[in-house]
Chains A and B, each alone.
Chain A
Amino acid sequence: MSTQIRERLDNTFRLIFQSSGLLTILLLGGILFMLLYNSLHFFSITSFTDFFFKASWDPDEQYGFIPLLISTLLVSLGAMLLAVPLGILSAAFLSELAPRRVQAFLKPVIELLAAIPSVAVGFLGIVLIGPAIAKVFGLQNGLNALNGSVLLAVMSLPTIITISEDAINAVPKAHKEASLALGADHWQTMFKVTIPSAMPGLIAAVMLGLGRALGETMTVLMATGNASAIPKSFLDSVRTITATIAIEMGEVPYQTRHYFALFAIAAILFLISLIINLTGEFFANRIRKYHA
């Protein structure tokens, strides 16, 4: 091949690669445009006050967003209450106590836990966790916020453990040894030395775990009962934003008010998970800079 042809080929390939890079911006832009365009349509026919202050979500009558938001937050925060302590303690075990062999065994276990499809986790919510909750609390069925929280906790644990472990590993060993040498015991060292210095990374871990929980659809759709009223406790049935979209989008006629409404709640979900992911990212970058 002549040099000229080779150079031309080189340029062509550079262009191909570059345009695929630009495609990602286009994709994000497209998603933003879709959400914004359809939500604007919705808010041109529905007032903000109705959306934010009506107390229930009854398509075609009123579109009160608050029950969905409260449901989503309740289930996700419940999941974090369970997953964060468990995740951080496990991460501490992995990075400080586990021998290499145990580590080599546990890492794939955590990867496999992360790999289980959400629909299978939701299925377990129906056949295993649900009946267990019903029995313990004497309820008719166990499809409620607690069920969703337990399942989401299991699903966000791999994320929390992996990132927390990196954060704890990054704390210089000398600090911990110094603390132990000064007479502090393991707990004091953990709570006064290791966790405070790993804090940015741990916050990142919690944020990314929370992001995963908030955006999860199938698990909550199957396990939380989907009643669209404001929940009063963890034993109430809830209906999250994601579940509402999943249930209703399949049946609404194209470009009706109801159709636009689902895009509007999707836009808000997008915004919430964006803020949470960016916060996580911010803290993750802080440790990266600190250790660079």
Chain B
Amino acid sequence: MNMTRKFSAVFYWSILSGSTLLVCSFLGIILWDIFSKGFSSISWQFIASFPKEGMTKGGILPAIAGTFILTIITTLFAVPFGVACAIYLNEYATPGPLNNLIRASIRNLAGIPSIIYGLFGLALFVQSLKLGTSILSAGLTLGLLTLPYIITTTEEALKRIPNSLREATLALGATQAETIRDVVLPLAVPGILTGIILSVSRAAGETAPILFTGAAFYINSISPSLHQEFMALPYHLYMLSTQHTSIEKVRPLAYGTATILIALVFALNFTAIYIRNKSRKSI
């Protein structure tokens, strides 16, 4: 009896830890496969030059620049709205049907598949507002996609600020807006920033919403115009791995692009994790 019990405990331990190990190994396999094959394609020339000879040679500079500008547009659009909405929910809103409706909307928005945001961006920005397929349309579409995420993380950051601080400020005669500006927001900055960086990292890797709102297979110059089509890293990876006429030939370039994309997303995530750990210690 004792033996079977001991055996069952060992079995329990090994199945559970084995499952976890398997999950971790997925991350390991993904990173190993992509990085080990991608690093050899990466050079200064790969990062800093345009694609050449029908994409079979050259680099991915326009895709890097496109993703960079795209995420800036997304951030400029989504952060003010998202933070303002979170401030409303946490600092002003009183329980009631309107409040419930707003919260329900945000939860639903967070669950909508990203391709539907792509359709919405196409119908609203590209067609109705006549912005055309452009980096602006795509950036705004990604902005809508990240909005619920920014609202949720910002609200969580605001919740962590103790109420006594707000009450003290209000008691000293500050208005509510002043309290938020001078006390609540400055203290919540690390939390809000963490959320913003994670949202940006998500937006930078998204492909489906930009498929028909402005991403292009190839552009021959980087222009500062917001009304032009653009190249982006995730879309470039998709094109190189499925749509190119000589897929085997461009495989090293696809690996290189995947490496840069994942490195970018991870760099953003590590920054966010670092800020979060640091601010948790200080509060």
The complex places the Cα of A122 from the Cα of B85 at a distance, in Å, of 34
Number of A-B residue pairs having CB atoms within 8 Å of each other in the complex: 245
The complex places the Cα of A92 from the Cα of B23 at a distance, in Å, of 13
Given contacts A89-B15, A123-B237, contact A20 B112 (CB under 8 A): no
Q: Mark B79-123, 1 if CB is under 8 A from A, else 0.
A: 001001101110111000000011001111101111111111011
Cβ–Cβ contact A123 & B258, under 8 A: yes
Cβ–Cβ contact B23 & A110, under 8 A: yes
| Residue B241, interface by CB 8 Å | yes
Cβ–Cβ contact B208 & A112, under 8 A: no
Which of the residues A9, A38, A214, A249 comes within 8 Å of B177, measured between beta carbons? A9
Given contacts A109-B24, A215-B113, contact A185 B148 (CB under 8 A): no
| Residue A16, interface by CB 8 Å | yes
Chain B: interface size category? 35 or more
Which of the residues B26, B101, B119 comes within 8 Å of A245, measured between beta carbons? B119
The complex places the Cα of A98 from the Cα of B13 at a distance, in Å, of 10
Q: Mark A114-128, 1 if CB is under 8 A from B, else 0.
A: 011111111110111
Q: Mark B9-28, 1 if CB is under 8 A from A, else 0.
A: 10111011101101110110
The complex places the Cα of A246 from the Cα of B148 at a distance, in Å, of 23
Among the 9-residue stretches A21-29, A54-62, A63-71, the one with 4 or more Cβ atoms under 8 Å from chain B is A21-29
Cβ–Cβ contact A14 & B176, under 8 A: yes
* Chain A positions within 8 Å of B119 at CB level: 34-35, 245, 249, 262-263, 266
| Residue A44, interface by CB 8 Å | no
Cβ–Cβ contact B115 & A242, under 8 A: yes
Which of the residues B19, B22, B206, B241 comes within 8 Å of A117, measured between beta carbons? B206
Cβ–Cβ contact A119 & B212, under 8 A: no
Cβ–Cβ contact A120 & B261, under 8 A: yes
Residues in B115-153 with C-beta less than 8 Å from chain A: 115-120, 122-124, 127, 144, 147-148, 151
Cβ–Cβ contact A117 & B207, under 8 A: yes
Q: Mark A166-193, 1 if CB is under 8 A from B, else 0.
A: 0000000000000000000111001000
Given contacts A20-B81, A274-B108, contact A86 B120 (CB under 8 A): no
| Residue A197, interface by CB 8 Å | no
Given contacts A27-B109, A31-B120, A123-B254, contact A20 B241 (CB under 8 A): no
Which of the residues A34, A94, A98, A154 comes within 8 Å of B120, measured between beta carbons? A34
Show 6 A/B contacts (Cβ-Cβ < 8 Å), sorted by A: A16-B84, A31-B120, A115-B201, A118-B205, A187-B11, A245-B118
Contact residues of B with A, CB < 8 Å?
5, 8-9, 11-13, 15-17, 19-20, 22-24, 26-27, 29-30, 33-34, 81, 84-85, 87-89, 91-93, 101-102, 105-109, 111-120, 122-124, 127, 144, 147-148, 151, 175-178, 180, 198, 201-202, 204-208, 211-212, 234-235, 237-238, 241-242, 251, 254, 258, 261-262, 265-266, 269, 273
- A-B CB proximity, top 4 nearest: A215-B113, A117-B205, A20-B84, A89-B19
